Structure 1
C-alpha cells in the first residue's frame, strides 16, 4: 500500500495507520506496548506519535464513558428544518445548539432537512421540555422530527484502515 496523504499533507504509512487504529481502541496503552505492537522501538514510535499529534491527526485522548453507568437515559435523534436559509439564520440555530449540553452531536446535512442532532436526556419528558425550550427561543426551527433510540446496535471508532486507503 502506498502512503496516503492526509488533508494536511502528512503522509501516513502502514505503521501510522496501525498506531491510529490501536489508539482509538486503547488510548491508555503504554508507549512501550504500542511500540511493540507496531514493531518499532520506543523512540521512533514516540516520534511518530508526536508527528501525528503535531499534524492534528490525533486531536485528543479521552475516556469512553459508559452511558449505562448513569442509569436509564434516553437517546433521541432529531431532524431539524429551519425557517430561512440565510447565513445569520444558520448561525443563530448553531449558536443555540452549541449552548445546549443535552445535544451531544449535530450535523448540518443536505437534502430535505437541515440538521440531524443527537440528544441525551433522562426521560422523554425531559426531551419534550428541551424541545419546547428551543422552540420558545425562536431560533428558527420550522419543523422537527424525533426518533427515540430503542436499541443501540453499533458504535465504533473511525475505520482508519479504510479511510486511509488511496482511491
Structure 2
C-alpha cells in the first residue's frame, strides 16, 4: 500500500501539473458532489463545458482524480462495529512486510491499512457486524501466521468527523 501511494505521488509530481484556483474549485466540488452534471460543474466554476471537460481530463490523466464513487451510508445496513487496530510485527524484514500486506489485502472487512512509523508497524480500520465477528477476524489473522507479534484494538463508540481533506489545504502545503 505504501509503495502504491508513493508511486501515485511520484506520478503526480512527474506530471508537474500546475493547479490554478479553478482546478482547485473543480476538485473541491467533485469531492462533495461526485455526480454533478458536467454542464453544472462548468457553470459553477465559470467555464463553458468544453474547457471544463478538458480540465477534468487533464486532472484525470495526471492521476489527481483517481476515481469517482459514492459514499454509502453503512448505517443503512444495520448496526456495525468499527475498530481501529494497531499491529506490531514480529520481524521487520522486507519479506515480512510484504507477506503481511498481501494477507491484509485479501480481507474485505479490513477497509484501510496504513504502514506507520513509531512504536507500531500498521494501523488498520476494520468494519464488522459486531465484536464477535471482529474477534473471529483477529483469531483468523493470528492463526494465519503472517507475523503479528502484538495488536491493540480501539472500538469506535461514535463517529465524530469523516470528511475528505480539503483540496485547497493540500495544494497550499505543496
**TM-score, length-scaled by structure 1:** 0.95
Q: What is residue 131 of structure 2 aligned with on the other side? A: 124
Q: Given the alignment, which residue of 5, 20, 25 partners 1:18? A: 25
- Does 2:93 align with 1:69? no
1:157: how far off? 1.4
Q: Distance in 2 between matches of 1:79 and 1:100?
A: 16
Q: What is residue 6 of structure 2 aligned with on the other side? A: none
Q: What is residue 120 of structure 2 aligned with on the other side? A: 113
After TM superposition, which residue ranges in structure 1, 4 or more long, deviate above 2 angstroms?
none
Which structure 2 residue ranges, 5 or more long, are not aligned? 1-11
Alignment map for 1:144-163 (pairs within 5 Å): 144-163=151-170
Cα deviation, 1:38-91, whole Å, max 9, x if unaligned, reads 011111001000100111110100010001111000000000000000000001
Q: What is residue 9 of structure 2 aligned with on the other side? A: none
1:166: how far off? 5.5
Which structure 1 residue ranges, 5 or more long, are not aligned? 1-5
The root-mean-square deviation of aligned C-alpha atoms, in Å, is: 0.9
Cα deviation, 1:73-114, whole Å, max 9, x if unaligned, reads 000000000000000000111011001111000000000000
Bigger share in helix = 2
